[in-house]
């Protein structure tokens, strides 16, 4: 089963990757950095969601 944090985490990762690529393509370091940060935040949120699911299944 998938929870909200897992879905939102993956969405943030995708959006961050797009933003990061756009920043690289245009040479805009600020956009690239924001994309990288968003991608990392998405990974953290997904990991949190994964952990919640593991705990839920264990109980």
pLDDT band at 2 (very low <50, low <70, confident <90, very high): confident
User: How high is the pLDDT of residue 29?
Assistant: 97
d(CA 10, CA 16) in angstroms, rounded, equals 10
d(CA 43, CA 36) in angstroms, rounded, equals 11
Predicted confidence (pLDDT) per residue in 31-59, tens digit: 999 999 999 999 999 999 999 999 999 99
| Statement: residue 26 has pLDDT above 90 | yes
Residue % of the chain over a pLDDT of 70: 100
């Amino acid at each position: 089963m998938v929870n909200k944090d897992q879905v939102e985490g993956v969405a943030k990762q995708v959006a961050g990757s797009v933003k990061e690529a756009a920043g690289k393509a245009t040479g805009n370091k600020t956009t690239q950095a924001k994309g990288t940060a968003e991608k990392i935040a998405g990974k953290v949120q997904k990991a949190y969601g994964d952990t919640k699911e593991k705990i839920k299944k264990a109980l």
